[in-house]
Amino acid sequence: MIRDVATPALTGTFFLALATAVGADQPAPPAWGRIDDSRSGIGRYTFEVTDWPVDGRLAVPRGFPEIVRGTVDVDGNRQDLVVEYDADTTSVALVAAEAARPAAVAVDTADETRQFDDGRIVLTARTATVNGTHAKLEEHPANHRIGFWSDASDSVSWTQKLTRWGAYDVRLTYSTASPSGTEIEVGLGDAKLAGRLESTGSWYRYATIPLGRVAIPAAGDLPVTVRCTKLVGAAVMNLKAITLTPACEGTPPVQAVDGTVTLHGRDATVRGTMLRWEPAEKKQTLGFWTRRTDAAEWTFTVRTPGTFDVEVLQGCGTGQGGSEMAIEIDEAQPTSSRVAFTVEDTGGFQAFRQRTVGRVTIGETGDHTLRVQPKTIAKAAACDIRQIQLVPVTQ
């Protein structure tokens, strides 16, 4: 739901805290539009921009949580925005290269290192360990960063407890006024990702860059280290955050020639903190479904639209049945399709049973998203799901 920043219904959110801090009833809404805070529980906000400023700079309300990434959809592709501060960090703005039309800007925030309910992990400068003699934490409201990194032998590290294994996309948020060309290495357990830093033009202009994808093989403590392998200029960077986002475990599915869409667990993206793809030969399933906020998503390609029966290959332990599950296709679209079903006890979480649980219509070719998530969990865990199939209905 979209709410004006000045709407009193924002009681209990950042906006009420801000109003209290400045001694006002409610802060004024931004001149460019309004802010949707309905997903603030996972550190995400949406800036609904109805009137782009001429200079392309979206002023962020004072007291807003620390921004680690901002993106906007441009012709179907998400593009990263620059996060810009003034010299004393009293003002913050998101800067867009293209600002000609209304848009929804996705804003990720994190004041402290944490794992959010959707599985995203943000490692912030504020909780990092600095190893060396020059680099150090610089603290300003909404702009904490590791700065003064003038010695290439210095490094920055964290130890993060992972609640689930799986695939993660890794991104770096940084700024640098040094020339382009500094090279870094991010170690995550045994995995290593290399990156090349482009100048952001100022120590107060932050960019977010992708470093690659890693497969973390086990839950537990994960050491993360950032090192400089080649220094160009006077300093490495100002380091704001490292972000790990759950990624597709396999390959995005494509509709088969016979019209069937097979969504196997190995090709899902997990949005959660406990749910995971279990690759063991006897399992081959999405399991550990113990939290209602955990969901599985598939992005798949449809070549022949139509009406489909939804078939779920589901397992559930003895006495564990009764959880309510919801399936939704293209949840953010007006043409979304929904199916709900009750989990059946199959005598074992890997005792899979094929079930037809409903019917959906997909009206367009192209990419679509299916999401499955518990509405209620009756006992210890909802179920295991090995795959979901969309089977064309023969008219």
In tens, the pLDDT along 245-300 reads 999 999 999 999 999 999 999 999 999 999 999 999 999 999 999 999 999 999 99
Question: With 70 as the cut, is the pLDDT of residue 9 above it?
Answer: no
pLDDT digits 0-9 by tens, 120-142: 999 999 999 999 999 999 999 89
68 touches 108 (CB < 8 A):
yes
Instruction: Say which CATH superfamily domain 8-109 falls into.
Output: Golgi alpha-mannosidase II (2.60.40.1180)
296 touches 372 (CB < 8 A):
yes
pLDDT reported for residue 110: 96
What amino acid occupies position 144?
H
Task: Judge whether 8-109 and 114-246 match in fold.
Answer: no
Three-class DSSP category at 142:
coil
pLDDT reported for residue 313: 98
pTM of the model: 0.91
User: What does the block give as tokens for 325?
Assistant: 């599950």
The structural domains of the chain, with segments of one domain joined by +, span 8-109, 114-246, 261-392
Q: Please state the separation of Cα 293 from the chain's center in Å.
A: 14
57-59/92-95 β-pairing: antiparallel
- CATH of the domain spanning 114-246, picked from 3.30.1600.10, 2.60.120.260, 1.20.120.420, 3.40.50.720: 2.60.120.260
pLDDT digits 0-9 by tens, 158-182: 999 999 999 999 999 999 999 999 9
Q: What is the CATH number of domain 261-392?
A: 2.60.120.260
pLDDT reported for residue 365: 97
Report residue 226: phi and psi, to 5°: -115, 125
Number of Cβ within 10 Å of residue 75's Cβ equals 6
pLDDT reported for residue 305: 96
User: How far is Cα 313 from Cα 318, in angstroms, rounded to an integer?
Assistant: 17
Question: With 80 as the cut, is the pLDDT of residue 235 above it?
Answer: yes
User: What does the block give as tokens for 359?
Assistant: 């019917």
Smallest CA-to-CA distance from 171 within 224, 249, 129, 99 is with 224
Smallest CA-to-CA distance from 152 within 137, 166, 132 is with 132
